[in-house]
């Protein structure tokens, strides 16, 4: 089940309307097979959404909703607006290609495919090329139907250790720039390449020296091996394997202040004008705070997002344009408090009576909790209102269906535990495996 809320002027929420939606509503996949699709990846542009979904047989397809007017939903969905997710039939002509990731800049879509055998992964681009989002020279390779291919094949010319075949590990997009983490047999670990808007130094060239990078450029990280990347509108944050951070680009909103001196960082995420680093103590938030984006009252440089509960590591953090989501899967906060009480009470109990110990929280009762904060003008936090949220609030919770071990026969080994969240331009998204469809099939 995929749910969404927020800005919806072009039907990008795929809930069969073009009205903003300030509560989480189910998304509709047009002609979906039995309604059972697991969303693996989701990406939001200005007014369009891409979803990479897998059916229970493991077959993957890319779906799209919202604005297709710039070709961002492919040549067969041009000049129209889609209020539901439609299958994107991309005439790419790539034999045996399997979609791997989806990503989007403002009006551009990126589809990453893996190919059989020893072939390099391919990144296809659809839509607007206003800021050289395509990563292709005007004379570069174009597949038929207005689809462009990112010129990864140019990389060996820039760096001989990036000889093909190339494997893409992640694609991160800001408003108008793209950074890909990739490996090759000779790359000695993951490396970064980037292209698109570059005027603010977000692709390493100093401010004002380069307007856009037309072709993928090798980004150097001599300080260490890049583990993760996140892009804001004019800044880029790199997490290195040793937990240190590199920060490039605009600092006009203080989004880079103190970021490079953080240590032992687990994850990095960017809103358009903010930086969010998950550490063992909590989420470090930096940058614009005109609508509660930093999620804290403490406005000092060392402040952490202020959750109203003891800190526990989220399953994931997702940043939209000016709001942030944190997804937790586990015991609910209610159980959490109860289990703390339980531990205290059992400690006081005499060890001679172990049978008095209350049963441990059952592993079959996990709860999904989505928390969020920040800009909420379009109801994008799903709280039924449009006031900004200055401190994290519980947006949505759901008891997850977890089948007994011997019921799990299909491809989806982690059925019931799989949950994800994404955030876009004034939109929020949460997916969990659908209870009813599961229980039918697993019966």
Partner 1 sequence: MGAYYDEIEIEDMVWDDAKRVYHYPCPCGDRFEISKSQLANYEDVATCPSCSLIIRVIFDPLDYEDYESEGEEDAEEESEEDSDSDEFADAVEKLTI
| 175 part of the interface to partner 1, by CB under 8 A | yes
| 410: its two tokens | 């299909």
| 272 part of the interface to partner 1, by CB under 8 A | yes
| 150 part of the interface to partner 1, by CB under 8 A | no
Q: What are phi and psi of 261, to 5 degrees?
A: -95, 0
Per CB under 8 A, the segment of 21-29, 150-158, 314-322, 355-363 that binds partner 1 is: 314-322
List Cβ neighbours of 419 (8 Å cut-off, separation of 6 or more).
315, 327, 329, 368, 400, 430, 431, 432, 433
| 356 part of the interface to partner 1, by CB under 8 A | no
| 199 part of the interface to partner 1, by CB under 8 A | yes
Say if residues 188 and 161 touch (Cβ distance below 8 Å): yes
Tokens 């997490």 correspond to what residue?
Answer: 239
Tokens 């992964």 correspond to what residue?
Answer: 121
Per CB under 8 A, the segment of 178-186, 278-286, 361-369, 424-432 that binds partner 1 is: 424-432
Alpha-carbon distances, residue 385 vs 22, 24, 68, 381, 395 (angstroms):
6, 12, 29, 8, 11
Segment 91-130, which members bind partner 1 (CB under 8 A)?
A: 106, 130
List Cβ neighbours of 39 (8 Å cut-off, separation of 6 or more).
2, 51, 52, 53, 420, 431
| Closer Cβ to partner 1, 279 or 386, answer by number | 386
Q: 273, 324, 333, 428: which one contacts partner 1 (CB under 8 A)?
A: 273
| Closer Cβ to partner 1, 77 or 175, answer by number | 175
Say if residues 178 and 172 touch (Cβ distance below 8 Å): yes
Q: 59, 157, 220, 252: which one contacts partner 1 (CB under 8 A)?
A: 252
| 177 part of the interface to partner 1, by CB under 8 A | no
Percent helix, strand and coil across the chain, each to the nearest 5: 10, 40, 50
| Closer Cβ to partner 1, 269 or 378, answer by number | 378
| 213 part of the interface to partner 1, by CB under 8 A | no
Total binding residues for partner 1 by CB under 8 A? Answer: 30
List Cβ neighbours of 11 (8 Å cut-off, separation of 6 or more).
17, 18, 65, 66, 67, 81, 82, 83, 84
Q: Which helix (H) or strand (E) holds 346?
A: helix 333-348
Per CB under 8 A, the segment of 241-249, 315-323, 361-369, 409-417 that binds partner 1 is: 315-323
Coil, strand or helix: which one is 178? Answer: strand
Please report how close the Cβ of residue 388 comes to partner 1 at its closest, in angstroms: 11
Per CB under 8 A, the segment of 108-116, 154-162, 223-231, 418-426 that binds partner 1 is: 418-426
Segment 12-41, which members bind partner 1 (CB under 8 A)?
A: 12
| Closer Cβ to partner 1, 232 or 282, answer by number | 232
| 236 part of the interface to partner 1, by CB under 8 A | no
| 10 part of the interface to partner 1, by CB under 8 A | yes
Say if residues 136 and 149 touch (Cβ distance below 8 Å): yes
| 322 part of the interface to partner 1, by CB under 8 A | yes
Which residues lie near partner 1 (CB under 8 A)?
A: 7, 9-10, 12, 45-47, 106, 130, 175, 197, 199, 211, 233, 252-253, 272-273, 288, 290, 320-322, 375, 377-378, 424-427
């Amino acid at each position: 089940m995929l749910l969404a809320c927020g800005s919806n002027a072009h039907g990008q929420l795929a809930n069969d309307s073009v009205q903003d939606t300030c509560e989480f509503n189910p998304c509709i996949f047009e002609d979906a097979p039995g309604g059972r699709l697991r969303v693996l990846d989701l990406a939001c542009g200005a007014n369009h959404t891409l979803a990479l979904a897998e059916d229970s047989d493991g077959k993957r397809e890319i779906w799209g909703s919202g604005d297709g007017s710039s070709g961002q939903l492919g040549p067969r969905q041009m000049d129209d607006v889609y209020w539901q997710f439609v299958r994107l039939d991309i005439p790419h002509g790539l034999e045996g290609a399997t979609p791997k990731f989806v990503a989007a800049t403002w009006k551009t879509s990126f589809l990453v495919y893996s190919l059989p055998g020893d072939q390099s992964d391919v990144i296809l681009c659809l839509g607007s090329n206003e800021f050289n989002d395509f990563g292709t020279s005007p004379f570069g390779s174009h597949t038929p139907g207005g689809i462009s291919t990112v010129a990864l094949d140019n990389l060996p010319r820039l760096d001989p250790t990036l000889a093909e075949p190339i494997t893409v590990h992640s694609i991160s997009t800001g408003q108008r720039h793209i950074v890909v983490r990739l490996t090759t047999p000779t790359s000695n670990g993951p490396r970064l390449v980037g292209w698109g808007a570059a005027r603010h130094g977000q692709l390493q060239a100093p401010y004002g020296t380069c307007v856009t990078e037309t072709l993928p450029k090798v980004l150097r990280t001599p300080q260490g091996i890049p583990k993760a990347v996140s892009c804001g509108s004019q800044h880029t944050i790199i997490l290195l394997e040793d937990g240190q951070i590199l920060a490039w680009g605009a600092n006009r909103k203080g989004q880079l202040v103190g970021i490079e001196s953080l240590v032992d960082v687990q994850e990095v995420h960017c809103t358009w004008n903010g930086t969010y680093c998950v550490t063992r103590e909590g989420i470090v938030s930096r940058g614009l705070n005109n609508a509660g984006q930093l999620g804290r009252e403490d406005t000092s440089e060392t402040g952490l997002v202020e959750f109203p509960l003891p800190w526990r590591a989220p399953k994931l953090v997702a940043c939209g344009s000016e709001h942030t989501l944190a997804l937790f899967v586990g015991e609910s906060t209610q159980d959490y408090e109860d289990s703390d009480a339980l531990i205290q009470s059992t400690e006081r109990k005499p060890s001679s009576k172990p049978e008095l110990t209350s049963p441990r929280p059952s592993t079959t009762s996990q709860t999904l909790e989505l928390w969020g904060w920040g800009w909420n003008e379009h109801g994008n936090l799903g709280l039924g209102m449009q006031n900004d949220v200055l401190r994290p609030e519980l947006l949505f919770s759901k008891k997850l269906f977890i089948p007994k071990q011997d019921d799990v026969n299909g491809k989806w080994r982690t059925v019931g535990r799989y949950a994800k969240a994404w955030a876009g331009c004034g939109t929020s998204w949460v997916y969990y495996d659908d209870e009813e469809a599961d229980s039918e099939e697993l019966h």
